[in-house]
Amino acid sequence: MDGLTAIEIIESSKKTHENWLDYFVKNPQALAWKEHENVGDIEHHRKCIKDYEQVIKEFKQLEAQLNELTDQLKDVTAVAGILQEANVQLKAEVYSRTANKQKKEINK
């Protein structure tokens, strides 16, 4: 499962429970087989599926919030770049005016 996102991992686990649920619904007699006693019953699989769906929903909400924050950060970064350039220009203007003022005083 290397390289999968958290949502993909959870969806894969959810799918396992869906497969077992489908199997037991189609083969209810299998619930009594000793080889399946550690797999869980129908209600166990339904609960796991429901829980996974909740986790997936919450992850997707967090992902949307993260994307929104990322967009906002890009906007802030762009504004910061503009302000930084304005600051550089302002410093250059102040330096230039100060230098010109000093030249005028020297030439008096």
**Is 63 inside a domain boundary?**
yes
**Is 65 inside a domain boundary?**
yes
The confidence score (pLDDT) of residue 19 equals 96
Count of domains forming the chain: 1
**Is 1 inside a domain boundary?**
no
**Is 56 inside a domain boundary?**
yes
The confidence score (pLDDT) of residue 103 equals 75
**Is 79 inside a domain boundary?**
yes
**Is 43 inside a domain boundary?**
yes
Below-70 pLDDT ranges, the chain: 1-2, 108
**Is 35 inside a domain boundary?**
yes
3-state class percentages of the chain: helix first, strand second, coil last, to nearest 5: 85, 0, 15
**Is 89 inside a domain boundary?**
yes
4 contacts: CB under 8 Å, gap ≥ 6: 12
